[in-house]
Amino acid sequence: MAAGLGGDRRGRGSFPWPAPAQAQAAPGDRVAAPVREALAALPVQAESRDGYERNKFRHWVDADRDGCSTRAEVLKAEAVDAPQQAANCVLSGGRWYSPYDDVYFTAPGALDIDHLVPLAESWDSGASAWTAKEREAYANDLNEPRALIAVSAKSNRSKADQDPTTWQPPATGYRCQYATDWVAVKTRWGLSIDPAEQTALTDTLSQCPNAPVDVTLAR
């Protein structure tokens, strides 16, 4: 069962890693551990993109029917200086920071909303078996601040659907956070990693603080 597009971030309880405790947890429960333990708990499997189409993930919906799509909600939430909001949730002004490339922007149109773990990557690592509603929930996950991120269009399109094996943020100071957030999102959604991805994440995180990962399980 997928998490809803809105709801309570707190979850029902807190479970530690490793895997035996995680296996007892259910959607809405919290799990917490240092990131290197969280990485070690992710299932390692070969990936397949067979059957993937982006339109199988309905995205940028207006889940709460307030007139603002998921894209606009992320832009409002992540603004360094709040934009003005006109009719139909048209945003203007404001200021944003793109951590991928360490650049500030003052025009909403200069930003893309990136799925930190791309839709195609999620398909490869488990979402191909989900229902359409589960994929919609993943594509519009406003309950997990690490899942969707406002970044420069240039950096987002450079990344495309790559995983950490072949793409890292150009801003080297952000790479530890990026790897940690990648593990958090994969944990939240019960996604696997492939062997090359595991190696890339392990190499990156071996040079990073063993930061805590605390997530509410979506499925």
Question: Which tens digits make up the pLDDT trace of 91-119?
Answer: 999 999 999 999 999 999 999 999 999 99
CA proximity to 27, closest of 184, 136, 140, 190: 190
Whether this model's pTM surpasses 0.85? yes
Residue 23: pLDDT band with limits 50, 70, 90: low
- Predicted pLDDT of residue 97: 98
Query: What are 52-84's pLDDT values in tens digits?
Result: 999 999 999 999 999 999 999 999 999 999 999
Greater confidence (184 vs 7) lies with 184
Q: Where along the chain do its domains lie?
A: 14-216
Give yes or no for residue 1 having a pLDDT over 70: no
Query: What are 146-190's pLDDT values in tens digits?
Result: 999 999 999 999 999 999 999 999 999 999 999 999 999 999 999
What is the mean predicted confidence (pLDDT) over 36-52? 97
Percent pLDDT > 90 in the chain is 88
- Predicted pLDDT of residue 25: 80
